[in-house]
Structure 1
Amino acid sequence: MSTTATSPPPTNWQASVAHAFSRAAPRYDALANAQRHIGETLWSTLPDTAGMRLLDMGCGTGYWTQRLAVRYPNARITGLDIAPGMLAEAQARFGNHIRWQLGNAESLPFAAETFDLVFSNLAIQWCRDIGAVMNDLHRVLAPGGQAHLTTLLPGTLAEVAHAWQRPEALLQTPDRDELARAIDHSGLTPIHQHVERRTFHYPDLNAVMASIKGVGAQVSRPNARLTRRELKAARERFETLREPPGLPVSYQCFTLQLDKPL
């Protein structure tokens, strides 16, 4: 696993995200059911051939990175993540035939025109500067290269926000217009865009919270913790939303294919 000496030091937000996901790494795969299902939709958009240099941006424990290595056996695969714990888990599981790189999507530690294809499943919603993400994607993609991404839009985890009555405690994501402006300014060309609401069900509030905390999707924020009384009220509010399969948790998923013009 390598790091880049010229990478800028992480901001407090980046450090918090890295810490949350590093802590989640040992149990991430056991709890990432929603993330896997959403990723399968992105996987289906990939081309049959993809050049020789591929990046999994926000690779986590390496699940998709390893699948990329199998799907494109002649390519050189790099998995990048902001969380050292995730990269350690990935390296221990899949070894060194994949390059594991510490870094973040707002300041990619790679030279210009390094990759022919970038894959990123549910990572860029954690970035505070989506314009920097798109600009750096444009920079590291070779002419004619593609980026296949999923991210989350506002409305994600709306049921949890309703139960907590504290939407500010959840991840705040860029809206579709903000993403469109960032893409346009970057010089990338949107080839495919698809918005879909995906709902998953859990037996109780404890399972809901385990699914969120267990995949690192809850970063400490001021006033994020609930008192015992507030937790009881949150459980009661969530129960009013119960559906036959269980308590619903919704993700507003935005799937994108972006091309860098020749």
Structure 2
Amino acid sequence: MDSSENASLGNRRPSPVAEYFGRLAATYGDGEYYGNRRRAVLETIAGEIADARDVLDVGCGNGAYLAKFAAAPGNRRVTGADLSIDMLLSARNRVGVKCRLLCADVSRLPFKPASFDLIFASHVLQFAADLDGVVAEIARCVRPGGVLVATGRREDTVRQMLSAIVGPDRWREYGEVIFQRAPRREAAAGPDDRYQRAFAKSGLRVEERAAPFTIQWVDIEEWIRIRWMPVIPEGERQQADAMLAEVAKAGASRSLRLHEPLILGMRDV
């Protein structure tokens, strides 16, 4: 970003979601859980990445995926868009000048129609109040022959496992101390096929894939410390640490086979 771009970004008032994730800009996506999941996703869409010459990562965060898109074999232009200034500044530190970055709302993208061969949206649609409208806006920017790749809805296996280990009463305490401060996931309230129907309504041909990966229980503890501890008030962190120690002891020898569900929307030529 040049100085004028930075100045214009600084004048924007952040949305609650942008403000929330901005607090995680330095570390979001770090650790084995996120790393293994990211590698699985990249392997699953390797063909789409190889074919793309113009790539857009909407909700790019601090650039963890952007760096991989830019480093993939072949020549391509990579653009990242996010609502959070802090995330974009962290992304700039990660990717240098390899990618174009801009502050943008996914419901009002500042691009001409049919601008990109591949548009990637990792854990973005879950926060869309108007899912159909957001998907239509993203789909508008997909070229003929291009594809929109987004994460789909999934069972929260990690939290289900935590609940099974500590029991329902203790789990409610975990929810109050550790997990209650996440921003509301608007699209999560819809039916299971809501994403697929939104893609089809936008004129995209729908395909579903699963990106499997394995993590150890210690990776879950690391994930909680990276993802959740920074947003827990200082006065409650001692209690959260005690809860993590309890889980680490109960689940030390466990491993989990998970998958990241992906929905691909192809724009026919």
TM-score by length of 1: 0.73
Q: Tell me how far 1:69 sits from its aligned partner.
A: 1.6
How far off is 1:109 after superposition? 2.5
Alignment correspondent of 1:27: 27
Tell me, in whole angstroms, the C-alpha distance in 1 between the residues paired with 2:51 and 2:38.
18
> 2:151 & 2:109 partners in 1: Cα distance?
18
Q: 1:63 is matched with which residue? A: 64
In the TM superposition, residue 139 of structure 1 has moved relative to its aligned partner by: 0.4
* Matches of 1:46 and 1:148, distance apart in 2: 12
Residue matched to 1:103: 104
2:86 maps to which residue?
A: 85
1:100 positional shift: 0.4
Mapped partners of 1:185, 1:261: distance in 2: 14
Partner SS state of residue 23, structure 2: helix
Partner-residue secondary structure (3-state), 1:106: coil
More displaced 10-residue stretch of structure 1: 154-163 or 62-71: 154-163
Deviations 1:63-82 (A, max 9, x none): 22122122254221101122
CA change 1:85–1:131 in 2 (3 A) is same
Partner in structure 1 of residue 154 of structure 2: 153
Partner of 1:213: 228
Distance 1:234 1:26, change over 3 A: closer
Q: Using the alignment, how far apart are the partners of 2:242 and 2:88 within structure 1?
A: 38
Task: Determine if contact 1:105/1:133 at 8 Å carries over to the other structure.
Answer: yes
1:58/1:121 contact within 8 Å kept: yes
1:153–1:176 contact (8 Å) kept in structure 2: no
Per the alignment, residue 139 of structure 1 pairs with 140
Conservation of the 8 A alpha-carbon contact between 1:154 and 1:252: no
In structure 1, runs of 5+ residues without a counterpart are none
How do 1:246-257 and structure 2 match up within 5 A? 253-257=260-264
Query: Aligned runs of 1:195-214 on 2, under 5 Å?
Result: 200-202=216-218, 207=222, 209-213=224-228
Number of the residue aligned with 1:124: 125
Q: Deviation of residue 237 (structure 1)?
A: 8.2
1:187 is the counterpart of 2:189: no
- Contact 2:210–2:259 (Cα < 8 Å) also in 1: no
Q: Deviations over 1:218-260 (max 9, x none)?
A: 6x9xxx99979986996698579625148x7x97631122201
Contact 1:119 1:147 in 2 (8 A): yes
Counterpart pick for 1:244 among 250, 253, 267: 253
Rounded to whole Å, the distance in 1 between the matches of 2:40 and 2:117 is: 21
- One-letter amino acid of the structure 2 residue matched with residue 67 of structure 1: K
Distance 1:95 1:155, change over 3 A: closer
Are 1:258 and 2:242 an aligned pair? no
Which secondary structure state, in structure 2, belongs to the residue aligned with residue 109 of structure 1? Answer: coil
| 1-structure distance, mates of 2:116, 2:267 | 11
1:194 aligned counterpart, secondary structure: strand
Q: Which residue pairs with 2:39 in the alignment?
A: 40
CA-atom RMSD in angstroms: 3.8
TM-score norm. by structure 2 comes to 0.72
Q: Residues 26-64 of structure 1, C-alpha deviation per residue, up to 9 Å, x if partnerless?
A: 2235x3432221121221123263242111222222122
Give the CA deviation at 1:193. 2.8
Q: How many equivalent pairs are there?
A: 245
Read off the aligned partner of 2:160 and give its amino acid letter.
A
**Gaps in structure 2 of 5+ consecutive residues:** none
% identical equivalent positions: 20
Partner of 1:75: 76
Name the CA shift for 1:182/1:237 in 2 (closer, same or farther; >3 Å).
farther
Partners in 2 of 1:203 and 1:84 — Cα distance?
A: 28
Letter paired with 2:37: I
**Larger helix fraction of residues:** 2
Q: Which amino acid aligns with 1:94?
A: V
Distance 2:76 2:239 in 1: 51
**Is this contact kept in 2: 1:189–1:258, CA < 8 A?**
yes
